[in-house]
Amino acid sequence: MTEIPKNHPRYESLIAREKIVSGVNRGLTSQQGLTAQGRGEAFDYLIGEKTIASAEHAETAAACLLLLAENPVISVNGNAAALVPKELVELAELTGSKLEVNLFHRTPERVKKIVDELKKYDASCVLGENAEPLLNLDHERAKVERDGIFAADVVFVPLEDGDRCKALTEMEKLVITVDLNPLSRTAQTAHVSIVDNLTRAISNMIQMIPELVLLSKNELWEVIEQYDNKMVLADALEEMKEHLTEKQNELLGIDPTPKGPTPEEVEEMEKRAEIRKRVLMRGADLMME
Amino acid sequence: MTEIPKNHPRYESLIAREKIVSGVNRGLTSQQGLTAQGRGEAFDYLIGEKTIASAEHAETAAACLLLLAENPVISVNGNAAALVPKELVELAELTGSKLEVNLFHRTPERVKKIVDELKKYDASCVLGENAEPLLNLDHERAKVERDGIFAADVVFVPLEDGDRCKALTEMEKLVITVDLNPLSRTAQTAHVSIVDNLTRAISNMIQMIPELVLLSKNELWEVIEQYDNKMVLADALEEMKEHLTEKQNELLGIDPTPKGPTPEEVEEMEKRAEIRKRVLMRGADLMME
C-alpha cells in the first residue's frame, strides 16, 4: 500500500481507496470496482464525509429488519470484501444472517477468492459458489443461490447494481442497500437505502445491535413502520444542496446571514428525536397495526 | 470488454467506464484513472449527464483561445487517451495545436504507448517522450517538453491534477481544463474550466470550430473578454443544486409551481444571447481594449 500520513485531511478516504486497489491486485475486486469507489468518493464529499442524521436513521431501520427477518442474507461483492470483510462476518454473526458472494462481474475465481477471504475472518459458511440463474435478468446477472438470496425474506445488498436491486424487490423481498448516490436506481428501488460510506454504515450497524436486541419484536416493527425511505433520500439530497450552497458562497465571497431553523425544520428535528427515543429506550409495549 | 446490454439505462456511462478499463489493460491508463473516472461519473450525474449552458460557454471560450494562441498545446493523459484519442488528434489538427503526452503517474512505457495510440489516429507529431523537469514541482511531477507545454502560451490540460494546473497558471500561460468537479483545485485555478464530460466537451469544441474560424481575431478576443470563470463555476454548482431539487421534488411527488425567470435571470439570458450572437454572426469590427 502507498504510505498515507495519518494527519492527511482525507486519510480515511485515501485508505479506503488503497484497500480497493489492494482488492483488485489480490483478485477480489474487479477493475470496475475502482470506478464505483471513485463515484462513492464524490458523493461522500458532498455529504461532508460523515454519517448524516437520516443515514443513521436508515442504519437503525436496516439493523431492525435484519434482526426481524426469518431468513436474512448479506450479499458481498468485490468492493465490500476489500473494504469491510471482518465487519461483514461480524454483522452476519450478530444478526443470524447468511453471507453470499454476489458479483456483477462474476467469475468462478473471484467468487472463490472472496469466499476464502471471508473465511479468513471466521465466517462459518459463505454461499455463492453454487449460484444458479434464478433472477428475472439475463443469464450472468441472474445468478444467486437457491438457499441463499433466492430464499431470503430480507436481503442486504450494499453497493448493488440498479437492475439487480429492482429484480430483488419484485420478488417481494425486503431489500436494504448502502449507496452514496441517493439518485441511483438502487437507492430509489430498495426499501431501506443507507446513503453513507459502507465502512461507516457497517460499523454503525454493528454498534447499534447490542441495544436493538433488547427491544421486543413489536418495538422493532415500530421502528420500521416509522421509517420513510423517501424522506431519508430527500434529506440526503438536502444535505448535498446545503454543502453546494456553502461552497458556492465561498467561491463568490458571499457571507450568508446566520439564521435559525424554519418551523418545518424544528418539527422535523422533533420527529427525529422522538423516533430516536423510541429506538433507544425500552418504553411501554407498542401495538403493531 | 464486458458486454453491456444496449438497453441498459446508463449505457453511455458504462461504455466510457469500459473504455477506461480497456485503457488500463492496454497499459495506457493507470489504475488511479479508474477512480478518477468514477468521481467524474458522479458529478456528471449531478449535472444531468448533459452539457449545461455555462459549460457550452466555457467550451466556446476554450476553442477561441486555442484558435488565437501562437503556440497552443493539448495535453493528453491516460484517461483522455482511452476515451477520445481520435477526437484529440482532430482537435489538434483543427486548432494547429501540438499534442503532448503528460502523465501524473508517469512511466516511459506508458508515454510511449499513448504516443503510439495517438499516431494510430494519424497524429503527425506527438511530444512527451523527451520531457524534462521544468515545472516548479517535485521531479517526476515536473516533467514537460521544452518545445511543448513549457513553451506554450495556451495549454489545454483536460483532467489535470490540481498542483500541476496551479504550476502552469503561475508560468503565465492561459490554462484550459475539463473537470466535472467545479470544486476541485484544478477547476478553481484554471482560467477556463469546462465542467463537462470530456467526451461531450471535445466533440462540442470540434463542432464549434468551423463557425469560429469565420470570426476575426478581435471577435474571438471579445468572446474571451466576456468570459468569467467564477460565474461559470458558480453556475455549474447552481445546476447541480437545481438538479438535486428536481429529483427531490420527483421523489416527494411535489409539483413545483411553474414560474417565470427572475429579472436577474432574464438579464443573464439576454447577456448570453448577446454573446452567442456575436460568436455566431460576423458583426462590425470590435476593438480590443
Is the same domain home to B132 and B266?
Answer: no
Answer yes or no: is B218 within a domain: yes
Per residue in A170-211, pLDDT (tens digit) is 998 999 999 999 999 999 999 999 999 999 999 999 999 999
Is the same domain home to B73 and B111?
Answer: yes
Model confidence at B283: pLDDT above 70: no
The per-residue pLDDT for A78 is 96
| Chain B hits for A19, Cβ within 8 Å | none
Burial of residue B30 (number of CB atoms within 10 Å: 0-12, 13-18, 19+)? buried
Question: Rounded CA gap, B138 and B207, in Å?
Answer: 38
Is the same domain home to A225 and A266?
Answer: no
Q: How far is A46 from chain B (nearest CA, A)?
A: 10
Answer yes or no: is B250 within a domain: no
Question: Rounded CA gap, B74 and B84, in Å?
Answer: 13
What residues make up the domain containing A279? 260-289
Is the same domain home to A287 and A163?
Answer: no
The per-residue pLDDT for A139 is 78
Nearest chain B residue (CA) to A243: B241
DSSP state of A253: T
Interface probe for B, chosen from A26, A39, A243, A246 (most Cβ of B below 10 Å), is A39
Which residues have C-beta within 8 Å of that of residue A273, sequence separation ≥ 6? none
Answer yes or no: is A1 within a domain: no
- The mean pLDDT values, 10 residues at a time, for chain A of 289 residues are 65 87 94 92 93 97 98 97 98 98 93 98 95 88 94 96 93 96 94 98 98 97 96 96 94 78 80 67 46
Asked if B22 reaches chain A (Cβ–Cβ under 8 Å), the answer is no
Is the same domain home to B109 and B228?
Answer: yes
Q: b/e per residue, B217-248, with b = 16+ CB within 10 A?
A: eebbbbbbebbebeebbbbbbbbbbebbeebb
Per residue in B183-210, pLDDT (tens digit) is 999 999 999 999 999 999 999 999 999 9
pTM: predicted TM-score of the whole model, two decimal places: 0.81
Asked if B237 reaches chain A (Cβ–Cβ under 8 Å), the answer is yes
Indicate the annotated binding residues of B for ATP: 17, 39, 179-181, 185-186, 197-198
Asked if B251 reaches chain A (Cβ–Cβ under 8 Å), the answer is yes
Residue A106 assigned ligand-binding role: no
The per-residue pLDDT for B188 is 94
Question: Rounded CA gap, A269 and A261, in Å?
Answer: 10
The per-residue pLDDT for B6 is 77
Is the same domain home to B165 and B272?
Answer: no
| Chain B hits for A24, Cβ within 8 Å | 31
**Domain count within chain B:** 2
What's A30's domain CATH number?
A: 3.40.50.12640
DSSP state of A178: E
The per-residue pLDDT for A213 is 97
Is the same domain home to B140 and B270?
Answer: no
Nearest chain B residue (CA) to A242: B241
A285 residue type, one letter: D
Tell me the C-alpha to C-alpha distance, in Å, between residue A68 and each of A215, A218, A284: 11, 10, 19
Nearest chain A residue (CA) to B24: A31
Tell which residue, B155, B124, B160, B154, has the closest CA to residue B141.
Answer: B160
Is the same domain home to B231 and B273?
Answer: no
Is the same domain home to A33 and A96?
Answer: yes
DSSP state of A22: H
Residue A153 assigned ligand-binding role: no
Is the same domain home to A61 and A195?
Answer: yes
Tell which residue, B226, B220, B228, has the closest CA to residue B285.
Answer: B220
Answer yes or no: is A165 within a domain: yes
Is the same domain home to A228 and A266?
Answer: no
Contact B229, B191 (CB under 8 A): yes
Answer yes or no: is B5 within a domain: no
Asked if B244 reaches chain A (Cβ–Cβ under 8 Å), the answer is yes
| Chain A hits for B35, Cβ within 8 Å | 17, 20, 34-35, 37-38, 41
The DSSP bridge partners found for residue B144 are: B132
Answer yes or no: is A255 within a domain: no
Is the same domain home to A189 and A127?
Answer: yes
The per-residue pLDDT for A119 is 97
Answer yes or no: is A152 within a domain: yes
Q: How many CB pairs under 8 A join A and B?
A: 102
Answer yes or no: is B252 within a domain: no
Contact assignment for A251 to B188 by CB distance below 8 Å: yes
Question: Rounded CA gap, B233 and B193, in Å?
Answer: 8
